[in-house]
Structure 1
Amino acid sequence: MNQRILGKLGMDSKMAFGYIGVLLFMLGDGLEQGWLSSYLTDNGLTIQQSALLFSVYGLAVAIAAWFSGVLAEILGPRKAMSLGFVLFVLGTLIFLTIGIPTMNLAIMIPTYSLRGLGYPLFAYSFLVWLTYYTPSDKLGTAVGWFWVAFASGLNVLGAYYSSFALPILGEIKTLWSALIFVALGAVFAILLSKDESNNDNKKFKTKAEVIKYMATGVTIAFQKPKVGLGGIVRTINTAGAYGFVVFLPAYMMEIGFTRLEWLQIYGALWSSNVIFNLIFGVIGDKLGWRSTIMWFGGVGCAIFTAGLYYVPVIMGPNYFATLLMAIGFGACVAGYAPLTALITSVAPDNRGAAMSILNLGAGLSTFIGPVIVGAFIGSVGTVGVIWIYTGLYLISAVLTKFITLPQEQTASKATDLKDAVGS
């Protein structure tokens, strides 16, 4: 009965524990997102030093995300996930025992960055595992479930857990408790997932083959330009969300919202994203991956990005109207969920390398989003930055138009030939 229910939901029973593992691991990774920076500045670091710490951490995440796909193929998904777990634990141990007590950046930066290498290897290696295991007609739904688990842990449950844990445990013990969640996540995802087909990867027999395949994590974007386009689209996907946190809170409070109202609006944005990651995974399998990304993802994000600015301008601090705009934006960010299924199907023989490009895009979005704010808000203001993001989302819709599957190309050529013969 349980297997039947999971099947109807688009989740294979052999991999169901993996989703739970990803959720728990990402909860442990994300529980400090909303408060660690302010804690560090309250205890000795300057804002600039805190920003440097998180910038280098973000770079480590981007690098690990980039190579997670090829490492999952070289080592096998289980071993790559285990490596991610070990790096996260090692980085956390040194960061908490030496880094924070001394507030020494020379220790904090490398150890927190080591922690940052861990989650992409763990989570994205499981995603590669899914792309090989899942039948193509259910791949969009399976990937949707992955992003539900990922975003639920990182952006939603981690924040809610901290809101309850901090008053009871305090900051340091709350940080230590992350190890409990990541350990449970590792047990569920690595040990309890029952698929054995990719447990030990034997396709690489020599070091030269390993190095050559590692290089495909870079070269595939040029060998298969559609994969490169997918990386650009993935970068745009969450760039707006990462940029909003830099300037929208101040803008909303200038309009007249309270800090609590804005936090509720922002929380609703990500809660909506979690729900619609699954919905758009299913829609993508039915309507088509490319159409879902173009219209719901690109065009939808453009509309709601503009709405997040203009609705408060026109209606003032109208909580429910602005809340709807945030929910709409979060939903449309999830409209890109089928991108993984689309790009790995473009390169079916090099799915790990294709995933590396997508994961690089995910990492780069954490840089590009805030960089746009820093570079342009002084000259074009809040409205100008909003229109830059709106334009980028429309560009992503246009780029997606050119990411066609091999069978679509064949059908198009056959149609052209038929038309030519008919004329």
Structure 2
Amino acid sequence: MKTVTVGERSIGGLPMGVVWGFVATLIFMAGDGLEHAWLSPYLIEKGLTVQQSATLFAVYGGVLAVASYFSGVLTEMWGPRKVMIIGMIAWLVGQVLFIQYGLKPNNYAVMLPTYGLRGLGYPLFCYSFLVWVTYRSPDRILATAVGLFWACWSGGLYVVGSFFPAFMLPKIGYIGLLWSAVIWVFVGGLVGVLVVKDDAMGQAGNGKEKLKSLISGLTICMEQPKVAIGGVVRIINSTGIGSLPIFFPLYLKSKYGFTTEQWLQVWGTMWFANIIFNLIIPYISDKWLGWRKTIMWLGSFGMGVMLLVLLYTPQIFGSSFLALNIVGIIMGIVLCGFVPLSALVASMAPEKKGSAMAIVSFGAGMSYFIAPAIVGAFIGLIGVHGVMWIFAGMYFLGTVLMHFMKVPSEERKTAKNVRLQKQARQGHTGF
């Protein structure tokens, strides 16, 4: 049920509360992303092994995956504001404890639960706000509203979260950056909590019914195997790219002399290109390629190729900062090929779109667990080159899986073509 107040101030049809919520999302995610691209190399330089660092991120990713899956139903049960407050508090408490009692004394046993606690933060804060956006935004501009949410989410996490550290690291250092993240998240969280109300949520069904709906997100994988395939592709989507900050900047630094600041600039430029082309690739997908082929060839196959290009570029061009930036830009563009995946998976279960989207969200969260788990398991055995080939292989696997993700209209068209070819062969034989 949509509840958009008549006469309410708006910008481009979007209520002011939603617009300010986008600002809050960008600020919150900027704070959340300030350490993602450099924390692993920093921990390793402080004495942790690559495997220990990967385990830390795997714990974080596991908590994040669970929070991502439950964020929607909790929002409908309790309202978005309460869930956002829980997410903000979990993030702030986890961050403070992580810095003060885990990172400073280099206490790995404390790092694991405190960084894991922080993993509850952004899914509960941001995804509950996204649910509120779907209620508050008029249907005619809902797609635009959701697109703006993801633009702010990515812009905060990857763009501001990369360029701000690149600029400030020499001035305030690593620990100073982590404390500044507390300010970013507190400000973004406060703005979000002030502008979001619980008056726009649907009231259909009681808590038990909504929990039953949540569980249907698992049963739908058996009812609609294509939804499960879509969930696997969503895991692959973020796993390869999400693994890079764990080990690749350290490899670039030790082998080719790239600084942390240079890596952060490459990482931020890549995501800046990604945000720009996120507005272009969906248009191309809708008009010409189609959802499935865009995901198959541009997203899956393209990312598999570009991971290998990223791996071998320093070997060919040495410590060329320009060459690495160009590769990063192209990688950010081809990553946009996964944008139609949510729409494609939802189309596979038109009567249970909510359950289908729960699988997509869970897949996105699981990638934060699987990526560091693979790094931790294999980096010591097969090195950086072997791990990069594993992730490239996963993207190539995604290309194969997308072959089975034909929408009903494609299947009807394929069946018709097979029928016509069969009739043509029979007619030719009969003649």
The alignment's TM-score, normalised by the length of structure 2, stands at 0.78
> Which residue of structure 2 lines up, in the alignment, with residue 115 of structure 1?
118
Gap change, CA 1:46 and 1:253, over 3 Å in 2: closer
Residue 202 of structure 1: SS of its match in structure 2? coil
* Paired amino acid for 1:88: W
Moved more, 92-101 or 79-88: 92-101
| Structure-2 separation of matches of 1:253 and 1:106 | 28
The partner residue of 1:385 within 381, 387, 409 is: 387
Aligned-CA RMSD value:
4.1
- Matched AA of 2:324: T
Counterpart among 360, 367, 371 of residue 369 in structure 1: 371
Residue 309 (structure 1) shift:
2.8
Report the CA distance shift for 1:289/1:91 in structure 2 as closer, same or farther (over 3 A). same
SS in 2 for 1:272: helix
* Aligned partner of 2:335 among 333, 336, 351: 333
Q: Quote the offset at 1:280 in angstroms.
A: 2.8
Report the counterpart of residue 266 of structure 2 in structure 1.
Answer: 265
Matched, 1:219 2:222: no
- Mapped partners of 1:300, 1:420: distance in 2: 35
Choose 77-86 or 124-133, whichever is displaced more: 124-133
The corresponding residue for 1:61 is 64
CA-to-partner distance for each residue in 1:174-196, whole Å, 9 max, x for gaps?
444434433443355454369x8
Residue type of the alignment partner of 2:300: G
Counterpart of 2:116, as a letter, is S
Pairwise mapping of residues 298-313 of structure 1 onto structure 2 (< 5 A)? 298-313=300-315
Deviation at 1:232, TM superposition (A): 0.6
The amino acid that maps onto 2:329 is I
Deviation, 1:134, is: 6.7
- 1:16 & 1:64 partners in 2: Cα distance? 24
Kindly provide the amino acid, as one letter, of the partner of residue 151 in structure 2.
V
CA distance in 1, matches of 2:345, 2:419: 27
Residue deviations 1:219-270 (CA, integer Å, cap 9, x gap): 2322322221121111111221123334433554576453355444333323
Quick one: structure 1 residues 276 and 129, their matched pair in 2 at CA, closer, same or farther if it must change by over 3 Å?
farther
Over the matched positions of the two proteins, sequence identity in percent amounts to 44
- The SS at the match of 1:201 is coil
Query: Quick one: structure 1 residues 216 and 73, their matched pair in 2 at CA, closer, same or farther if it must change by over 3 Å?
Result: farther
Name the count of aligned residue pairs. 415
Q: What is the rounded CA distance, in whole Å, between the counterparts of 1:389 and 1:218 in structure 2? A: 26
Q: Equivalent residues in 2 for 1:280-299 (5 A)?
A: 280-287=281-288, 288-299=290-301
Contact 1:144 1:279 in 2 (8 A): no
Give the structure 1 partner of residue 148 of structure 2: 145
Please state whether the residue corresponding to 1:199 is helix, strand or coil. coil
Q: CA deviation at 1:94?
A: 4.8
Given that 2:36 and 2:245 are in contact with CA atoms closer than 8 Å, whether structure 1 keeps it comes out as no
Helix, strand or coil at the partner of 2:278: helix
* Contact in 1 for aligned 2:15/2:136 (Cα 8 Å): no
Residue 300 to residue 96, structure 1, CA distance change in 2 (3 Å): closer
- Which of 373, 381, 401 is the aligned partner of 1:399? 401
- Any conservation in 1 of the 2:132–2:201 contact (CA below 8 Å)? no
Provide the rounded CA distance (Å) in 1 between the counterparts of 2:42 and 2:384.
28
Change beyond 3 A, Cα 1:344–1:83: farther
Amino acid at match of 2:128: S
| C-alpha contact 1:301 1:329 (8 A) present in aligned 2 | yes
SS in 2 for 1:32: coil
Q: CA deviation at 1:157?
A: 1.0
1:24 aligns with 2:27: yes
Higher mean displacement: 390-399 or 413-422: 413-422
Q: Is the 8 A contact 1:91 1:111 kept in 2?
A: yes
CA shift, 1:64, in A, is 0.8
What letter is aligned with 1:26? M
Query: CA 1:120–1:383 in 2, change beyond 3 Å: closer, same or farther?
Result: same
Q: Secondary structure at the match of 2:124?
A: helix
Distance 1:56 1:264 in 2: 27
Q: CA offset at residue 202 of structure 1?
A: 1.3
CA contact (8 A) 2:18 2:136 kept: no
What is the one-letter code of the residue matched to 1:72? T
Of 141-150 and 322-331, deviating more is 141-150
- Residues 140, 337 of structure 1: 8 Å contact kept: no
Which ranges of structure 2 fall in alignment gaps of 5 or more residues? 1-8
Q: Secondary structure of 1:278's partner? A: coil
Contact conserved, 1:70 with 1:214, CA < 8 A, in 2? yes
Rounded to whole Å, the distance in 2 between the matches of 1:103 and 1:313 is 34
Deviation at 1:389, TM superposition (A): 2.5
Shift in Å at residue 93 of structure 1?
5.0
- Report what 1:157 is aligned to: 160
Aligned AA (1:325): V
Instruction: State the distance in 2 between where 1:58 and 1:323 align.
Output: 27
CA distance in 1, matches of 2:189, 2:336: 26
Please give the per-residue CA displacement for 1:278-310, whole angstroms capped at 9, x wherever unaligned.
Answer: 333444444433332222211221221222234
Give the conservation status (yes or no) of the 8 Å contact 1:74–1:204: no
- Which AA in structure 2 matches 1:57? Y
SS at match of 1:393: helix
Q: In the superposition, relative to structure 1, how do residues 14 and 45 fare at CA in structure 2: closer, same or farther (>3 Å)?
A: same
Cα distance per residue 1:186-216 (max 9 Å; x no partner): 355454369x8x83231222x4323322322
Q: CA shift at 1:104, angstroms?
A: 5.5
Question: Does the 8 Å CA contact 1:68/1:125 hold for their aligned counterparts?
Answer: yes
Cα distance in structure 2, aligned partners of 1:283 and 1:132: 28
